[in-house]
Amino acid sequence: MSKKKIFIIGSGFSSLSSACYLAKEGHSVTIFEKNKSLGGRARQFKKNGFTFDMGPSWYWMPDVFEKFFSDFDRKRSDFYELKKLDPAYKVFFGHNDFITIGDSIEKIKKAFEIEEKGSSKKLNVFIDEAKSNYQLAVKKMLYEMPGNSPMELINSQTIRKISSFITNIRKDVRKKFKSHRLRLILEFPVLFLGAKSSNTPGFYNFMNFADFGLGTWQAKNGFFDLVNAMVDLGKSLGVKYKTDSNIDSIVVNSNEVNGIYLNGNFFSCDIVVSGADYAHTESLIPRVNRQYSSSYWKSRTWAPSSLLFYVGFDTKIPNVEHHNLFFDTDFDKHARSIYDKPQWPDEPLFYANFTSKTFKKTAPKGCENGFFLIPIATNIDDSTQIRERYFNLIVSRLEKHTGVKLSKNILFKESYCVSDFKNDYNSYGGNAYGLANTLFQTAFLRPNLKSSKVKNLYFSGQLTVPGPGVPPAIVSGKLVSDLIIKDEKNI
């Protein structure tokens, strides 16, 4: 097999992953990232001694990360420190009303039993089923499904689980558990897949095993430790990284990739892999070569966008944990404002993390770094006034739950929303994490890893297979590399 010159667009996790696999195969690989720093949506923001992950914060499915490094005969622990969180997270339902999720199934069962008598036994059955789905989905199918054909989904094990593709998470959870609060907790993990629980196949309850069975972990400096680890690994394999490098266009001649334009200069290459948002990448090639129309993109179910705040507090904050979910408003009403009738939610639920609770150096002594997230619809107006209104709302709810007048302890705050996702990442509609994993946007029904119209043009990332989230993005990088390596062998 001849060695190829491969250009990768974007430096999100799928790109960092594919770069390593392709360089290991001996190809010459260069990553081009439009922003000043690497990591895509997982960049890091530092200010006045405070450190924040700009995007992902829940480190779930640690086995996927371990597998990635082991594919290069390395260990995750060669690169960064990881700690299992206890408690994993705290869910607030009202004033002095919360459930804490511990770091073991035994602790979680106790919390369930207090909330609903008999629920711990039901949880056992539910998690056993979720574990079996995890073993099938994550250990096997994820790595063997490049999304080429429906046949990938069909094997002796999946046939037995066909009913779990027909039902949905919400139905399954509500059949088994009566407590509204336990239901919300069990429906929460599928939010990572980008859709409502009523629109997510029951099979995806493997996310509940990821949550309760495998636990929530934290790297010392957050997800950026993983970015640095993957870049260090890539450099050791010969990958070159170029930041401040916005690709203007991909040059296609006779339906074949020839190279790229960067800052008005042409650079030739043999293969392009884009980990940038799919619709944006297709806008970089002539219309005639695009696989998907604008009406296709418009008709997709998008994962939410988000309103984010990065806040430096000059005090320690009591009564909150590392990860906190504020489910003290109507979840269904909020979900409708994201998916059914896109608008700002009246009473949003929100998520807050304080990594300084676990790794003290992420904030100055006696301080706390607060990251806040409200999931919202894509493509909505995000003016300064709107952001301010929601910030005040979050702070007053936080004050109620913590019992501290926190508005007096804010050293600084930065916000991030729809227009920032568009400007910084060329994100379609300002989506935060790609295309949702609904039944009709699963596996071969997601956008292709390989262009059907342009030779040597490939795609990876959260809009392709397997879907949104850091672990899937890393797997997506492997799947696209496997495809390229196979295609090159067949020439």
Ligand X SMILES: Cc1cc2nc3c(=O)[nH]c(=O)nc-3n(C[C@H](O)[C@H](O)[C@H](O)COP(=O)(O)OP(=O)(O)OC[C@H]3O[C@@H](n4cnc5c(N)ncnc54)[C@H](O)[C@@H]3O)c2cc1C
What is the binding site for ligand X (CB under 6 A)? 9-15, 32-35, 40-42, 55-58, 246-247, 275-276, 280, 306, 308, 373, 425-426, 432-434, 461-462, 468-470, 473
CB of 249 to ligand X, least distance (A): 9
β-strand partners of 94: 97
Instruction: Give 247 or 465: the residue with its C-beta nearer to ligand X.
Output: 247
459: left (phi over 0), alpha (psi -120 to 50) or beta: beta
Dihedral (Cα; 314, 319, 320, 322), 10-degree rounding: 90
To ligand X, the closest distance from the beta carbon of 437 in angstroms equals: 11
Closest CA to 370 of 433, 326, 432, 434: 326
Residue 305 DSSP SS3? strand
Minimum CB distance to ligand X, residue 17 (Å):
8
Tell me, what amino acid is at 159? I
- Smallest distance from the beta carbon of 432 to ligand X, in angstroms? 4
Longest dimension (CA), the chain: 68
Q: Give the tokens for residue 313.
A: 């507090």
Residue 225's closest CA among 92, 395, 43, 62? 43
Q: Identify the sign of the CA torsion 270, 271, 276, 278.
A: positive
Nearer to ligand X, 70 or 246 (CB): 246
Minimum CB distance to ligand X, residue 375 (Å): 9
Give the nearest distance from C-beta 52 to ligand X in angstroms: 11
- Residue 175's beta-bridge partner residues? none
Q: Which is nearer to ligand X, 313 or 425 (CB)?
A: 425
Q: By C-beta, is 69 or 177 nearer to ligand X?
A: 69
Peptide bond connecting 342 to the previous residue in cis, omega within 30 degrees of 0: no
Residue with Cβ nearer ligand X (10 or 146): 10
Question: Which among 71, 53, 52, 55 is positioned nearest to 63, based on CA atoms?
Answer: 71
The CB-of-33 to ligand X minimum distance in angstroms stands at: 5
Whichever of 99 and 303 has its CB closer to ligand X, that residue is 303
Cis check for the bond before 146: say yes or no (omega within 30 of 0): no
Q: In terms of CB distance, is 8 or 404 closer to ligand X?
A: 8
Find out whether 225 and 463 touch, Cβ atoms under 8 Å: no
Q: Which is nearer to ligand X, 285 or 470 (CB)?
A: 470
CB nearer to ligand X: give 259 or 404: 259
Least spacing, CB of residue 128 vs ligand X, in Å: 24
Judged by beta carbon, residue 179 or residue 217, the one nearer ligand X is 217
The residue nearest ligand X at its CB is: 12
Nearer to ligand X, 172 or 211 (CB): 211
Minimum separation from the CB atom of position 405 to ligand X (A)? 28
Q: How far is CA 212 from the centre of its chain?
A: 18
76 contacts 82 by C-beta, under 8 angstroms? yes
Length of the chain: 491
Under 8 Å between Cβ of 44 and 34: no
Query: Considering the complex, what minimum distance in angstroms separates the CB of residue 158 from ligand X?
Result: 24
| b/e code 93-106 from CB counts within 10 Å (16+ = b) | beeeebbebbbebe
Place of tokens 């916000």: 415
* Shortest Å, Cβ 222 to ligand X: 10
Distance between the two ends of the chain, CA-based, in angstroms?
A: 8
Query: What pairing do the DSSP bridges indicate for beta strands 256-262 and 305-313?
Result: unpaired
Task: Tell me the two tokens of residue 187.
Answer: 């429906």
